[in-house]
Amino acid sequence: MKFPKISEAVVRRLPMYLRFLNELAKSDVQTVSSQDLGRRLDLNPAQIRKDLAYFGEFGKKGIGYDVGYLVEKIRGILKLDQEIRVALVGAGNLGQALCNYNAYLKDNMRISAVFDANPNRIGDRINQLSVQPMEELVRTVREQHVRIGIITVPATEAQRVADQFVEAGVEGIMNFAPAIIKVPSQIRVHYADFTIELQSLAYYLNRGETEEEE
Protein backbone atom coordinates (compact mmCIF):
# COMPACT_ATOMS: atom_id res chain seq x y z
CA MET A 1 0.00 0.00 0.00
CA LYS A 2 1.27 3.48 -0.91
CA PHE A 3 1.23 6.27 1.67
CA PRO A 4 1.81 9.96 1.07
CA LYS A 5 5.32 11.23 1.74
CA ILE A 6 5.45 12.30 5.37
CA SER A 7 7.78 14.62 7.21
CA GLU A 8 10.71 13.31 9.24
CA ALA A 9 9.19 14.76 12.42
CA VAL A 10 6.05 12.65 11.90
CA VAL A 11 8.10 9.55 11.05
CA ARG A 12 9.97 10.00 14.32
CA ARG A 13 6.74 10.29 16.34
CA LEU A 14 5.16 7.16 14.87
CA PRO A 15 7.33 4.69 16.84
CA MET A 16 6.35 6.57 20.03
CA TYR A 17 2.67 6.14 19.20
CA LEU A 18 3.29 2.51 18.39
CA ARG A 19 5.08 1.79 21.67
CA PHE A 20 2.20 3.19 23.74
CA LEU A 21 -0.47 1.60 21.55
CA ASN A 22 1.23 -1.79 21.93
CA GLU A 23 1.06 -1.35 25.72
CA LEU A 24 -2.64 -0.57 25.46
CA ALA A 25 -3.24 -3.57 23.22
CA LYS A 26 -1.46 -5.80 25.74
CA SER A 27 -3.82 -4.56 28.46
CA ASP A 28 -6.82 -5.26 26.17
CA VAL A 29 -7.67 -1.58 25.79
CA GLN A 30 -9.63 -1.32 22.57
CA THR A 31 -9.99 2.39 21.92
CA VAL A 32 -7.95 5.46 22.73
CA SER A 33 -8.60 9.16 22.23
CA SER A 34 -6.10 11.68 20.92
CA GLN A 35 -6.35 13.32 24.39
CA ASP A 36 -5.22 10.11 26.11
CA LEU A 37 -2.40 9.67 23.61
CA GLY A 38 -1.44 13.32 24.08
CA ARG A 39 -1.40 13.07 27.89
CA ARG A 40 0.67 9.94 27.85
CA LEU A 41 3.18 11.11 25.24
CA ASP A 42 3.23 14.75 26.28
CA LEU A 43 2.09 15.84 22.84
CA ASN A 44 -0.68 18.14 21.70
CA PRO A 45 -3.81 16.09 20.80
CA ALA A 46 -4.35 18.29 17.73
CA GLN A 47 -0.86 17.37 16.59
CA ILE A 48 -1.64 13.70 17.08
CA ARG A 49 -4.88 13.96 15.09
CA LYS A 50 -2.99 15.74 12.33
CA ASP A 51 -0.26 13.09 12.28
CA LEU A 52 -2.72 10.23 12.13
CA ALA A 53 -4.91 11.96 9.54
CA TYR A 54 -2.01 11.64 7.10
CA PHE A 55 -2.94 8.02 6.66
CA GLY A 56 -6.69 8.31 6.37
CA GLU A 57 -9.53 8.86 8.80
CA PHE A 58 -9.00 6.32 11.56
CA GLY A 59 -10.58 8.07 14.52
CA LYS A 60 -14.30 8.05 15.31
CA LYS A 61 -15.68 11.18 16.95
CA GLY A 62 -16.52 10.58 20.61
CA ILE A 63 -15.07 7.05 20.55
CA GLY A 64 -11.47 7.60 19.55
CA TYR A 65 -9.10 5.40 17.67
CA ASP A 66 -9.33 1.63 17.42
CA VAL A 67 -6.06 0.52 19.07
CA GLY A 68 -5.61 -2.71 17.10
CA TYR A 69 -6.34 -1.03 13.80
CA LEU A 70 -3.97 1.83 14.56
CA VAL A 71 -1.20 -0.58 15.57
CA GLU A 72 -1.54 -2.42 12.27
CA LYS A 73 -1.65 0.83 10.26
CA ILE A 74 1.43 2.31 11.92
CA ARG A 75 3.32 -0.97 11.60
CA GLY A 76 2.45 -0.93 7.90
CA ILE A 77 3.55 2.68 7.46
CA LEU A 78 6.86 2.03 9.21
CA LYS A 79 7.22 -1.23 7.24
CA LEU A 80 7.43 -3.16 10.50
CA ASP A 81 4.93 -5.65 9.16
CA GLN A 82 7.74 -7.17 7.11
CA GLU A 83 10.89 -8.80 8.36
CA ILE A 84 13.81 -6.38 8.28
CA ARG A 85 17.23 -7.87 8.82
CA VAL A 86 20.00 -5.81 10.34
CA ALA A 87 23.76 -6.46 10.39
CA LEU A 88 26.22 -4.96 12.86
CA VAL A 89 29.93 -4.25 12.36
CA GLY A 90 32.16 -3.80 15.41
CA ALA A 91 31.63 -6.43 18.09
CA GLY A 92 33.22 -4.37 20.87
CA ASN A 93 31.62 -2.89 23.98
CA LEU A 94 28.80 -1.06 22.25
CA GLY A 95 28.28 -3.65 19.50
CA GLN A 96 27.94 -6.44 22.06
CA ALA A 97 25.50 -4.42 24.14
CA LEU A 98 23.34 -3.81 21.07
CA CYS A 99 23.47 -7.48 20.08
CA ASN A 100 22.45 -8.46 23.60
CA TYR A 101 19.58 -6.01 23.45
CA ASN A 102 18.54 -7.70 20.21
CA ALA A 103 16.31 -10.15 22.03
CA TYR A 104 14.08 -7.30 23.10
CA LEU A 105 13.70 -5.80 19.65
CA LYS A 106 10.22 -6.21 18.28
CA ASP A 107 8.36 -6.06 15.05
CA ASN A 108 10.39 -8.43 12.91
CA MET A 109 13.50 -6.30 13.21
CA ARG A 110 16.52 -8.26 14.28
CA ILE A 111 20.28 -8.13 14.14
CA SER A 112 20.92 -11.27 12.11
CA ALA A 113 24.68 -11.01 11.54
CA VAL A 114 27.64 -9.47 13.35
CA PHE A 115 31.13 -8.78 11.97
CA ASP A 116 34.48 -7.66 13.28
CA ALA A 117 37.97 -7.10 11.87
CA ASN A 118 39.80 -8.45 14.93
CA PRO A 119 40.73 -12.11 14.32
CA ASN A 120 40.53 -12.75 18.09
CA ARG A 121 36.83 -11.94 18.07
CA ILE A 122 35.86 -14.14 15.13
CA GLY A 123 33.65 -17.02 16.23
CA ASP A 124 32.75 -15.39 19.58
CA ARG A 125 29.11 -15.93 20.38
CA ILE A 126 27.01 -12.93 21.28
CA ASN A 127 23.39 -13.68 22.03
CA GLN A 128 23.20 -16.62 19.62
CA LEU A 129 25.13 -14.85 16.85
CA SER A 130 28.64 -15.90 15.89
CA VAL A 131 31.01 -13.01 15.06
CA GLN A 132 32.01 -13.28 11.39
CA PRO A 133 35.11 -11.92 9.63
CA MET A 134 34.74 -8.82 7.47
CA GLU A 135 35.55 -10.86 4.38
CA GLU A 136 32.13 -12.49 4.75
CA LEU A 137 30.16 -9.24 5.05
CA VAL A 138 29.16 -8.68 1.43
CA ARG A 139 28.15 -12.29 0.83
CA THR A 140 26.23 -12.66 4.11
CA VAL A 141 24.43 -9.34 3.76
CA ARG A 142 23.30 -10.29 0.27
CA GLU A 143 22.33 -13.85 1.21
CA GLN A 144 20.36 -12.76 4.26
CA HIS A 145 18.81 -9.79 2.45
CA VAL A 146 20.04 -7.47 5.19
CA ARG A 147 18.58 -4.00 4.66
CA ILE A 148 20.09 -2.00 7.52
CA GLY A 149 23.70 -1.84 8.70
CA ILE A 150 24.79 -0.72 12.15
CA ILE A 151 28.28 0.74 12.62
CA THR A 152 29.94 0.43 16.04
CA VAL A 153 33.63 0.70 15.09
CA PRO A 154 36.09 3.50 15.94
CA ALA A 155 35.42 6.78 14.12
CA THR A 156 38.49 6.36 11.91
CA GLU A 157 37.05 3.11 10.53
CA ALA A 158 33.45 4.19 10.05
CA GLN A 159 33.72 5.28 6.40
CA ARG A 160 35.49 2.06 5.42
CA VAL A 161 32.71 0.01 7.01
CA ALA A 162 30.02 2.22 5.44
CA ASP A 163 31.58 1.61 2.01
CA GLN A 164 31.40 -2.14 2.59
CA PHE A 165 27.76 -1.92 3.62
CA VAL A 166 27.03 0.13 0.48
CA GLU A 167 28.80 -2.41 -1.70
CA ALA A 168 26.75 -5.16 -0.09
CA GLY A 169 23.54 -3.29 -0.91
CA VAL A 170 22.05 -2.12 2.39
CA GLU A 171 19.39 0.60 2.18
CA GLY A 172 20.01 2.29 5.53
CA ILE A 173 22.87 2.77 7.98
CA MET A 174 22.69 3.50 11.68
CA ASN A 175 26.04 5.01 12.63
CA PHE A 176 27.09 5.07 16.28
CA ALA A 177 30.67 6.15 15.52
CA PRO A 178 31.37 9.86 16.02
CA ALA A 179 32.12 10.45 12.34
CA ILE A 180 30.16 11.79 9.39
CA ILE A 181 29.99 9.20 6.65
CA LYS A 182 29.42 9.73 2.94
CA VAL A 183 27.12 7.36 1.09
CA PRO A 184 25.16 7.50 -2.18
CA SER A 185 22.03 9.67 -1.89
CA GLN A 186 19.58 6.76 -2.06
CA ILE A 187 20.97 5.36 1.20
CA ARG A 188 19.60 6.80 4.41
CA VAL A 189 21.98 7.39 7.33
CA HIS A 190 20.85 7.95 10.90
CA TYR A 191 23.29 8.96 13.61
CA ALA A 192 23.06 8.06 17.28
CA ASP A 193 25.44 9.98 19.47
CA PHE A 194 25.37 9.70 23.24
CA THR A 195 28.04 12.42 23.66
CA ILE A 196 26.22 14.98 21.53
CA GLU A 197 22.96 14.31 23.36
CA LEU A 198 24.66 14.72 26.74
CA GLN A 199 26.58 17.82 25.74
CA SER A 200 23.52 19.51 24.30
CA LEU A 201 21.59 18.54 27.44
CA ALA A 202 24.30 20.28 29.48
CA TYR A 203 23.36 23.57 27.81
CA TYR A 204 19.97 23.42 29.55
CA LEU A 205 21.40 22.87 33.05
CA ASN A 206 20.99 25.72 35.51
CA ARG A 207 19.02 27.59 32.91
CA GLY A 208 16.97 29.28 35.60
CA GLU A 209 20.08 30.66 37.28
CA THR A 210 21.46 31.97 33.97
CA GLU A 211 18.21 33.67 33.13
CA GLU A 212 18.02 35.30 36.56
CA GLU A 213 21.51 36.72 36.11
CA GLU A 214 20.51 38.51 32.90
Quote the CA–CA distance of 197 and 162 in Å, as a whole number.
23
Residues 6+ apart with CB under 8 A from 59: 34, 49, 52, 65
162 binds ligand NAD (CB under 6 A): no
To the nearest whole angstrom, how small is the minimum distance from the Cβ of residue 162 to ligand NAD? Answer: 10
Q: Which window, 33-41, 78-86, 88-96, 99-107, contacts ligand NAD (CB under 6 A)? A: 88-96
- Summarize the annotated binding site for NAD(+) as residue ranges: 90-95
| Shortest distance, position 123 Cβ to ligand NAD, whole Å | 13
210 binds ligand NAD (CB under 6 A): no
The three-point CA angle 73-113-106 to 5° equals 25
* 193 contributes a contact to ligand NAD by CB under 6 A: yes
Count CA atoms within 13 Å of residue 70 on its CB side: 33
Stretch that binds ligand NAD, among 22-30, 68-76, 173-181, 206-214 (CB under 6 A): 173-181
Nearer residue to ligand NAD within complex by CB, 59 or 90: 90
CA–CA dist 25, 18 (Å, integer): 10
Could you tell me which of 95, 105, 169 has the C-alpha nearest to residue 137? 169
Q: Please report how close the Cβ of residue 93 comes to ligand NAD at its closest, in angstroms.
A: 4
| CA atoms within a 13 Å half-sphere pointing along the CA-CB vector of 61 | 0
Distance in Å, CB of 10 to ligand NAD, minimum: 24
Q: At what angle do helices 34-41 and 45-53 cross, to 10 degrees?
A: 120
Residues in contact with ligand NAD by the rule CB under 6 A: 89-95, 116-118, 121, 134, 152-155, 157, 160-161, 176-178, 192-194
